[in-house]
Structure 1
Amino acid sequence: MLKLFCALGALACIHASEAAPRVLDARTSWIGNTFGYGQGTWAQINITAIAVTPDGRVFTNAPWDESGAEASVYKNGQMLGFAGGTHGWGNYGGNAIAVNKRYAFIAIAVGNEKGRLVKPGVWPGSGRQWFGVSRRELGETKRAAPFRSTDAADAKDPHAVLASSFLTINEAPTDKREDIGGLAASDALLYVSNTTQDRIEVYDADSMQKKRQWDAHEPGRLALASDGSLWALLDSLGENPRLVHYSASGAPLDDAPALPKDTLAADIATDGQGRLLVADNGVRQQVLIFTRDGRGYRESGTLGERGGIFSGTAGKPGPQRFNGLTGVGVDAAGNVYVSTNGIGVRHDTIGAGLGATLESYAPDGRRLWQVQGLLFVDGAWIDPSRPNSVYTGNKRFELDLSKPPGEEWKYAGFLTGRFRYPDDPVFHTDQWPGMPIARKLDGRTFLYLTDMYADHLKIYRFDAKRDGELAIPSGFIAGRARPVEHVPNRPPAGDWIWRDTNGNGRFDAGEFQLNTGTARIAGGWGWWVDTKGDIWRTSDVKGIRRLRYGGVDQAGNPVYDVAKITSYAMPAPFTELRRAIYDADTDSLYVSGYTADEPPDRGFWKEVGRRFVRYDHWSTNPTQRYAIDLPWDTKAKPVSTLIGFTVEGRYVFAVEPVGTVHVYDKDSGQELGVIKPGPEVGGASGWVDVPNGISASRRPDGEYLVFVEEDARGKVMMYRWKP
């Protein structure tokens, strides 16, 4: 069956066949994750706690991993597996984990999916949630280690089996967090930091019956010493956690060292030499080492460069250049293990977007191995100043395309300077950095980031001599009021522009320009920055806005003025718009959306729409060249729509939410075929969940690199296609 679309003034009519399109010969690769899922493994996107066995297995935990690997196991740089039961069906991960010779004890949360899950003892009642500990077999963490009996029916229910191995510590309303702040285990006992209840609780590790408890203010991470004494971080919810040492019975000891000023202790561990290791997520970004000295402890060394990734060339990753420490542990051989997530434990879910690493160091400080899960809800864009450099939302990678799939990338730069630029809107708006568009304007490179819901636009500049790899907050275009309510010094509404006029990267009062005109910026799903620097904002029903690039100011920022917005009415045949991409070289505008004959399905609201049109001579005499009927079937399983498109070279590249890339000839609108994920990534791509999740770049030899957001397993897909 064929559909024919023509319009008055059109230069071509497109016959869109419903037959399956041809699969193009493209090579599949990826950037940002140690593992591509070709062998069924991936590095998780966040790590907030670790526990290490004597033989060097590292057990991790985090509140969230998109594909359920919150609690995973690694050894010698390989992912051995993950526990499961920490994702979906009301289950979530947590911020603590401990092991003994038999069990892994995993802090988790259990909900009821807004009352949809109902079974006493398996899920909490409506409006309630549980925080506690899931006990698993150490050798196979997918296997529950029950301590309560189940009847015959429950024995066949995997959720009931998991419930029989779950110890409820706190029950709370759904709007209140009462997480477990720390765990430690011997073969006989399990120690639990009940942080919000100001006590440390002790359980029998086999029966899981409570044996005793004692008061402790906001206890956090715990570490058992070889003599049976217990180290704890107290005041863990504040900015200055402190060390406390307890006897085996819980009596306070007076030998705990005072931590250096500005230390933000994130985790603690002990080693076979009786030393105490403290992961400092403050400005030092180091592991502090304390040794017994008489009746007390003294600081005897550190692991890691002082200042971490922000020292020297700021943002440059490398061995011992830690970034957001969350965990530390030691094995029997004295090897030290460090986890990071770019921000630390206590910063909501943003850690899932700033990149997880797990590293092992020999006693002499040599890095033995590292795994990286660096990207989440993130895209990629070729650096216009360096053809083998790629920007993502808050990182830079370097490419060597001579290497095998998955090995072409090298992590080269972390862009978010949280100590130098604490006003960076990534900390005050959405929970993830955003989709990148990089442009070179007047000899300078600027990075523009759209958020997951296309509400606002972040703008960054660079100064390599002063700030290394860091991206300096330079401009911001706000949409609605609520997503920007935490931006420092903001006006009391949305729809404004901020520009860093004094060049300090801070949102200072007096640097905001409120949009008081009729051409509103707020609302819509389309953002685009063309090669000349103009910003195009697509409203659903109010047409298209264009903020013209006004050059660079004295501080090095691109200039935009809400008083000089150009407005374009909604072009025929559309009744609703979703995207608009302008090609400045040809004065062509590519627009997608819905028409009266092809209306939207209101249950799907990020998609590009059902009709795609190219208009030529847009600035002088807009003329429709062609109209394409796009893939669109919201009843299909999986759903068949398009969620993003980009224009590069001779082609239009458009991506479905399930990751399939459609390739169209830019001049004729004819579909040439599709690109699908190959065996290098297990033939799988996660859900593309952002409205600007695809980009493409034509290389000098005619090869195209196509980058696609890959939600599921901590990476960005990179397809290599040579027509």
Structure 2
Amino acid sequence: MRVLSRAALFAVALGIGAVAGLSAYAADEDNDNVLPAVTSWIGNTFGYGHGMWTQIDITSIAVSPDGKVYTNSPWDESGAEASVYQNGKQLEFAGGTHGWGRAGGEAVAINSRYVFVGTSVGNERGKLVAEGVWPPTGEHWFGISRRELASVKKTVPFRAVARADAHGQLAAGFLPVNRVSSGTKAPIYGLAASETTVYASNTTRDEIDVIDAESMQQKSAWKVHEPGRIALAPDGTLWVLTDSLSGPAARLAHYTADGKPLSDKVALPQDAIPVDIAVDKKGRLYVADNGWRQQVLIFTASHPGQYELTDTFGERYGIWAGKPSEQGRPGPLRFNGLTGVGVDAGGNIYVSMNGVGPQLGSTGAGLGASLQSYAPDGKLRWQVDGLLFVDGACIDPSRPNSVFTGNKRFELDWSKPPGHEWKYAGFLSNRFKYPEDTVFHMDQWPGTPMARQVNGRTFLYLTDMYADHLKIYRFDPAHDGETAIPSGFIAGRPGPVHAITTAPPGGEWIWRNTNGDGKFNPQEFQRNSTDEHLAGGWGWWVDAKGDIWRANDTRIHRLRFGGVDRSGNPIYAYDKMTTYAIPAPFKVVKRAVYDTRTDSLYVTGYTDDAMPNSNDVPKEIGRVLARYDGWSTGKPVLRFKTQLLWQPQGKERRTLVSVTQEGDYVFAVEFIGIVHVFDRNTGAQIGVIKPGPEVGNASGHVDVANAISAYKRANGEYVVFVEEDARGKVLMYRWTPAAGQKSQGGKKGAKDQAAGNGIGEG
């Protein structure tokens, strides 16, 4: 490892209750030039231009006879945890399940008058106080919110609460079933409802609670071990998934309406993982199997007391069906992470998915929601998708119409109108073949992508939400289809990687999967024995030649690409790392973006005359942007230094949180989603790009350090992708510079004007 000295290098110098993640951009007080970009998006059926979006997770569904689908989930960033869909449209969402201590849940049921939604209520660590409305300090409530079937937004009260405002109205229609200590989890995992009675799976108490549907008073309870989902049969009996938490797989039991066990047996395959159940008007059982089959299993009473498997619904193996080269490709009947199943009066079948299944563990809001409706013959009637959350996007350098996100691939048709250019083409994470992929057991979300083509191979590099580590994936389309195979990992701090139990303690290691099996084998780790540390800081960048750059405030590190090993993994090693002192006049460096074509390093951070005046600046890129030419010569030249927007105070934080370089421009995005465009040769700001009416003139908060990427198409159009938290998508801006907006770099600028960073050129 070499450390280049500074002297040698530089001879020349929210409040409580706000919906998290939501932000419509503020009126532009700076009178910036707004560039004529077209706003589009990928990953969600709806862009919010008409007030609709598909929620980011669906963990349970209830289907009405006429085909309305009522959903529930623990979390949607914009508060649509409980929503209603029909015929491919979002009809409404319930509200009152997000913020001010409230959250969604794991179950939902309906009768002809009401919707019963499993929810929870906390007190924001004691900050919310009102008797009967919020729990006392140290307590948390899990229970049932009763809503009108005709409009799920309307709470139907059944108890008196002194407070008369909206919070009081929500409380008046909420039944606390479990009152537990803060930090204890005790949700209702299953609900069913007749015209008179609500049945609730009180899983932590090993009982089914029987509740009057009008008074919402508990009438009785009976013991069932770890009850989960419940289905009400046409004859008034109940089917219950039992052993839903501790067993290797749940079992299916049949009860009378008053809790007496029936002797009926269902011949579930031993290796099935049932996660939901529905009963049609003929009494057939539909069991969602989230095991390797990824199918709905249909059982029919063959003779008294015995139900046999008579049919399956969905392709066997789901999204991993077909030849090896076809694995991971989504499509009708190719299910992925089943969470719910339902049937309407016409025999139409509904399935919900989230990429993993209802027991999410550390995967937060799942890996992308999909709700699909099928005719009885298996023909797809409609579907809605909310596939992305805390996710970015990056063009695949080997295919200019293909784009990667954290664990998905989309294909683009540039001729289609905004919001219709994208097609979901690949799910990259195979939990059956590569179960140690950290997307399933470590990160809350897959990570934001940088796709690079090096030595004729495409690699996917993912940074996590807090820029602690960098994950590396390789591809083998002939044998693994769309799957991104775990290939490498560069760890920073020990805390975020504690789930990798075979790793050496203390963080600061590199893992390379030398035997190609996708597992973290103990002998594959390399400890950092140098005096230079990559931990800390926010800046990761991978250049066009595969070198990894890490900016961690006081140093800039460069891990050299060392070729590809026999298993197809890129090679990185600490002894091939170069560490640079930060360039004058910087005192703190937040990002370092290297352009291999021009040997230029773009640096952002703080200088003596532009230091932060607040410690509350997470993820921000700093107050200064500079370009240095001739970086690898050891005598780089400062090309320009530009002051950046930096207003961390106030209702909307006006600071820049992510930066990239492509073609003639440097692109940086604000926390509230506005993209700033700078001339790459002069540093002058060309203008800004704002979300347009196609997405309701709104963006969610930008919540990751690697939130923006750009790609210059062969026709001169720039495509800019921006992570946005609020509504299950990634924003996509399409902008073609006017003739007067070309690079202003003079003769030198004209000479390299066509050069980009070598990553996104079309």
Shorter-chain TM-score bucket reads: over 0.9
Return 590-599 or 230-239, whichever deviates more.
590-599
Matched with 2:223 is 215
Letter in 1 for 2:729: K
Pairwise mapping of residues 507-656 of structure 1 onto structure 2 (< 5 A)? 507-541=520-554, 543-600=555-612, 601-620=614-633, 621-656=635-670
Aligned residues: 707
Alpha-carbon distance in 1 for matches of 2:29, 2:201: 59
Letter in 1 for 2:430: G
Matched with 1:674 is 688
Matched with 2:706 is 692
Alpha-carbon distance in 2 for matches of 1:423, 1:714: 26
8 A Cα contact 2:132 2:161, kept in partner: no
Q: Pick one of 303, 310, 313 that aligns with 1:303.
A: 313
Is 1:708 aligned to residue 718 of structure 2?
no
Alpha-carbon distance in 1 for matches of 2:136, 2:693: 44
Matched with 1:52 is 63
Pairwise mapping of residues 253-292 of structure 1 onto structure 2 (< 5 A)? 253-292=262-301
Matched with 2:261 is 252
Alpha-carbon distance in 2 for matches of 1:92, 1:162: 12
- What do the CA deviations read for 1:248-276 (whole angstroms, capped 9, x no partner)? 22110111314102111110010011101
Q: Pick one of 101, 105, 126 that aligns with 1:94.
A: 105
Letter in 1 for 2:600: S
- What do the CA deviations read for 1:58-112 (whole angstroms, capped 9, x no partner)? 0000000000000000000000010000000000000100000000000001000
Output the aligned Cα RMSD: 1.3
Structure 1 residue 597: Cα displacement:
2.4
- What do the CA deviations read for 1:456-483 (whole angstroms, capped 9, x no partner)? 0000000000000000000000010010
8 A Cα contact 2:356 2:366, kept in partner: no
Alpha-carbon distance in 2 for matches of 1:488, 1:464: 29
SS of equivalent to 2:209: strand
Letter in 1 for 2:561: Y
- Structure 1, unpaired ranges of 5+: 1-6, 11-16
Alpha-carbon distance in 1 for matches of 2:250, 2:651: 50
Letter in 2 for 1:24: L
Pairwise mapping of residues 442-457 of structure 1 onto structure 2 (< 5 A)? 442-457=455-470
Alpha-carbon distance in 2 for matches of 1:399, 1:40: 24
Alpha-carbon distance in 2 for matches of 1:617, 1:527: 21
Greater than 3 Å deviation, 4+ residue runs:
7-10
Return 448-457 or 519-528, whichever deviates more.
519-528
Matched with 1:4 is none
8 A Cα contact 2:139 2:181, kept in partner: yes
Matched with 1:502 is 515
Structure 1 residue 622: Cα displacement:
1.3
SS of equivalent to 1:619: helix
Matched with 1:240 is 249
Structure 1 residue 509: Cα displacement:
1.4
8 A Cα contact 1:344 1:351, kept in partner: no
8 A Cα contact 2:352 2:370, kept in partner: yes
SS of equivalent to 2:152: strand
Is 1:174 aligned to residue 182 of structure 2?
yes
- What do the CA deviations read for 1:628-683 (whole angstroms, capped 9, x no partner)? 10000112331110000100000000000100000000011110000000000000
8 A Cα contact 1:218 1:236, kept in partner: yes
Structure 1 residue 311: Cα displacement:
1.3
Alpha-carbon distance in 2 for matches of 1:150, 1:441: 64
Alpha-carbon distance in 1 for matches of 2:146, 2:366: 28
Alpha-carbon distance in 2 for matches of 1:358, 1:164: 31
- What do the CA deviations read for 1:275-314 (whole angstroms, capped 9, x no partner)? 0110010110000000111111111101111110011111
Structure 1 residue 8: Cα displacement:
9.5
- What do the CA deviations read for 1:500-535 (whole angstroms, capped 9, x no partner)? 000111111100001011111111100000000000
SS of equivalent to 1:498: strand
Return 549-558 or 628-637, whichever deviates more.
628-637
Structure 1 residue 150: Cα displacement:
4.1
Letter in 2 for 1:146: P
Structure 1 residue 57: Cα displacement:
0.3
8 A Cα contact 1:234 1:242, kept in partner: yes
Matched with 2:171 is 163
Q: Pick one of 342, 345, 349 that aligns with 1:329.
A: 342
8 A Cα contact 2:676 2:687, kept in partner: yes
Alpha-carbon distance in 2 for matches of 1:632, 1:391: 30
Structure 1 residue 346: Cα displacement:
0.7
Return 420-429 or 647-656, whichever deviates more.
420-429
8 A Cα contact 1:547 1:562, kept in partner: yes
Alpha-carbon distance in 2 for matches of 1:44, 1:707: 20
Matched with 2:75 is 64
Is 1:148 aligned to residue 159 of structure 2?
yes
**Taking every aligned residue pair, what percent have the same amino acid on both sides?**
63
Matched with 2:43 is 32
Letter in 2 for 1:594: Y
Matched with 2:756 is none
Alpha-carbon distance in 2 for matches of 1:422, 1:693: 27
Matched with 1:81 is 92
Structure 1 residue 617: Cα displacement:
0.6
Letter in 2 for 1:689: D
Alpha-carbon distance in 2 for matches of 1:192, 1:395: 36
- What do the CA deviations read for 1:419-448 (whole angstroms, capped 9, x no partner)? 100110112322100110000011100000
- What do the CA deviations read for 1:386-443 (whole angstroms, capped 9, x no partner)? 0100000000000001001000000000000011001101123221001100000111
Matched with 1:3 is none
8 A Cα contact 2:472 2:488, kept in partner: yes
Alpha-carbon distance in 2 for matches of 1:135, 1:564: 62
8 A Cα contact 1:610 1:631, kept in partner: yes
Alpha-carbon distance in 2 for matches of 1:37, 1:664: 29
8 A Cα contact 2:363 2:442, kept in partner: no
Q: Pick one of 208, 213, 217 that aligns with 1:205.
A: 213
SS of equivalent to 1:465: helix
- What do the CA deviations read for 1:590-632 (whole angstroms, capped 9, x no partner)? 1111123222221121100111111111111111111110000
TM (normalized to structure 2)? 0.92
Q: Pick one of 677, 688, 695 that aligns with 1:663.
A: 677
SS of equivalent to 1:426: coil
- Structure 2, unpaired ranges of 5+: 1-9, 14-27, 738-762
Alpha-carbon distance in 1 for matches of 2:57, 2:361: 11
- What do the CA deviations read for 1:675-703 (whole angstroms, capped 9, x no partner)? 00000000001000000100000000000
8 A Cα contact 1:353 1:377, kept in partner: no
Letter in 2 for 1:78: K
- What do the CA deviations read for 1:17-73 (whole angstroms, capped 9, x no partner)? 994210000000000000000000000000000000001000000000000000000
Structure 1 residue 196: Cα displacement:
0.5
SS of equivalent to 1:160: helix
Q: Pick one of 204, 209, 219 that aligns with 1:196.
A: 204
Alpha-carbon distance in 1 for matches of 2:650, 2:618: 16
8 A Cα contact 2:604 2:625, kept in partner: yes
Alpha-carbon distance in 1 for matches of 2:541, 2:401: 23
Structure 1 residue 174: Cα displacement:
1.5
Structure 1 residue 351: Cα displacement:
5.5
Gap change, CA 1:134 and 1:349, over 3 Å in 2: farther
Alpha-carbon distance in 2 for matches of 1:635, 1:217: 52
